[in-house]
Amino acid sequence: MQYISTRGGMQPLPYCETLLEGLAPDGGLAVPEVMPTVDGETLERWRALTYPQLAAEVLGLFATDIPRADLARMTAAAYTDFPEEVVPLREIDGGITLVGLSEGPTLAFKDMAMQFLGQVVEYALERKGSTLNILGATSGDTGSAAEHALRGKERISVFMLSPQGRMSAFQRAQMFSLDDENIHNIAVDGVFDDCQNLVKELAGDLDFKRTQHLGAVNSINLARITAQVVYYFWAWLRATDAGGWTELSFTVPSGNFGNILSGFYAKEMGLPIRRLVLAANENNVLDEFFRTGVYRPRSAEQTLATSSPSMDISKASNLERFIFELVDRDPARVTAAWRELDEQGFFDFTADLARFEDEFGIVSGTSTHADRLETIRAVHEASGEIIDPHTADGVKVAREYVESGVPMLVLETAKPQKFAETIREAIDVELEYSAELRAMLDAPQHVTEMADDAAALRAFIETHALH
């Protein structure tokens, strides 16, 4: 299996080399040269596997340059800090089932991919005899998941940008309480998209990228996308009966399009998915795109601070991988679309609007703060479950697309403890915290505040990077 760029300017590379690159040299994103496929017989064989075993099978289709024994060792190590089932499924009201993706060390779905990424990046660096300086941006959960997966690793340093004042107190504590020498938290005076733009600017400077050994763990990273594919297969296998070919639908709270893209890849591989339902918050650029065909990102000033902050994103980095498939894998049309975006602030695929649902099965909806509160209340009253605000966005939009005879699964985003203020507002419940979590919340915080300034960021990285 080789990987090419969405913009056509990268020679095919194997998995390990691709995941160390981040952005392709031409500014595009790595995609499989040919999408692997899975048949019904293989799916049935996978039913008896544990989650780490299934991960080795699915990832083995993408990472063909890694010996299967090494891959199995890495997936086993990646999911040791999870309960035995790793991803439990829990039914709530209205025919909806939650896919429990928040059982990892930072209580968010990002752990599912980041824990594997920490293993495979270290493996690739050891094989190459190299080091890597990870430059990333987070709107909340990516940063802590990455830092907890990569802390203390000798060949890796992490430079994580986050928007000042835009994360919950819990999210800040999870990141800023770490004091490992290879972890560098940088709070940028701006919003998430400003942080993401800084990452793209430095990653796009190929001389600086090579000199400083820069890589990425944001959702553009291939290892994250492929690792997330696994739990779509896992959830389908747990929600269907043996021997059947049941179609089901998934609803995915989405800001950067990475999580739902993994579901799209699973569907393209042959998993029987009827619909992929994208749930947006008030920053609903993606909902507008899938409803109208026009993609028009908003400025930093227009990006709202909401009670589902991990989705406060107006430029979805992973949308380019979907556009690549939409234009029948024509790199020239992808490049033209992004040129239009740079020149006029939007691009227009209204001519392809019917294909979004009819061919790709993608539909969408928006949830507001009032919707989140009402959904958290309704779910708690009906089932006793307490869901976080992002998952509430998912449940609210999922209800608009529930079909008789088609199971609807909602991907959980995080544990509610990460968003205690909103839970308190919704149901007037004070959430309990373990002694370990309380110690984290009370610990000293280590963070460097910085202006939205690429030159200042370059200087900081040059001073602290591994070589």
**CB neighbours of 228 closer than 8 A, spacing ≥ 6?**
112, 113, 258, 259, 262
Distance CA 222, CA 90 (A): 29
Residue with tokens 């004091």: 179
What local confidence, expressed as pLDDT, does residue 64 receive?
A: 97
**Does 169 score more than 90 pLDDT?**
no
User: Among the CATH numbers 3.40.50.1100, 3.40.50.1980, 3.40.50.2300, 1.10.150.80, which is that of 89-107+222-427?
Assistant: 3.40.50.1100
Task: Please tell me the chain's helix, strand, coil percentages from 3-state DSSP, rounded to the nearest 5.
Answer: 45, 15, 40
Give the model's pLDDT for residue 263.
98
> How many other CB atoms sit within 10 Å of the CB of residue 249?
21
Q: Inform me whether the pLDDT recorded for 242 exceeds 90.
A: no
Tell me how far CA of residue 284 lies from CA of 277, 291, 303, 317, in angstroms.
13, 11, 10, 15
Rounded to an integer, the average pLDDT of 349-355 is 95
pLDDT of residue 98: 98
Q: Band the pLDDT of 218: cuts 50, 70, 90.
A: confident
Let me know the angle formed at the C-alpha of 137 by 286 and 346, rounded to the nearest 5 degrees.
30
Among 286, 305, 284, 459, residue whose Cα is nearest residue 366: 284
73-77, 249-253, 255-259, 269-273: lowest mean pLDDT where? 255-259
Residue 229: is its pLDDT beyond 90? yes
How long is the chain? 467
DSSP letter for 221, please: S
List strand residue ranges (DSSP E) for 356-426, in order.
362-366, 408-411
CA–CA distance, 102 with 80 (Å, rounded to integer) = 14
User: What would the mean pLDDT of 56-75 be, rounded to a whole number?
Assistant: 98
pLDDT confidence of residue 215: 84
Is residue 415 annotated as a catalytic residue, yes or no?
A: no
- Burial profile 335-364: b = 16 or more Cβ within 10 angstroms, e = fewer: bebbeebeeeeebebeeeeeebeeebbbbb
Out of 63-72, 92-101, 166-175, 228-237, pick the least confident.
166-175
Interval 205-228 mean pLDDT: 88
> Model confidence at 324, in pLDDT bands (50, 70, 90)?
very high
Catalytic residue among 110, 267, 415, 418: 110
Q: Which residue has 């902050």 as its token pair?
A: 309
More confident residue, 53 or 309: 53
What's the rounded mean pLDDT across residues 287-297? 97
Own/partner long-range contacts of 38-42 (Cβ < 8 Å, ≥24 apart): 38/233, 38/269, 38/270, 38/271, 39/270, 40/245
- pLDDT (mean) for 343-368: 96
Which of the four pLDDT bands, split at 50, 70 and 90, describes residue 402?
Answer: very high
Residue given tokens 């990569």 in the structure block: 150
Over the stretch 417-432, which tens digit does the pLDDT of each residue have? Answer: 989 999 999 999 999 8
Going by their DSSP bridges, the two strands 96-99 and 89-91 should be labelled as antiparallel
223, 118 contact by CB (below 8 A): no
Q: Where are the domains of the chain?
A: 89-107+222-427
Each residue of 81-132: pLDDT tens digit? 999 999 999 999 888 999 999 999 989 999 999 999 999 999 999 998 999 9
Q: Please report how the helices 420-427 and 369-383 are oriented relative to each other, as an axis angle in degrees rounded to 10.
A: 70
In angstroms, the CA 422 to CA 170 distance is 12
Strand, helix or coil for residue 322: helix
d(CA 371, CA 308) in angstroms, rounded, equals 11
Is this structure's pTM higher than 0.85? Answer: yes
SS3 state at 25: coil
Mean pLDDT over the full length of the chain: 94
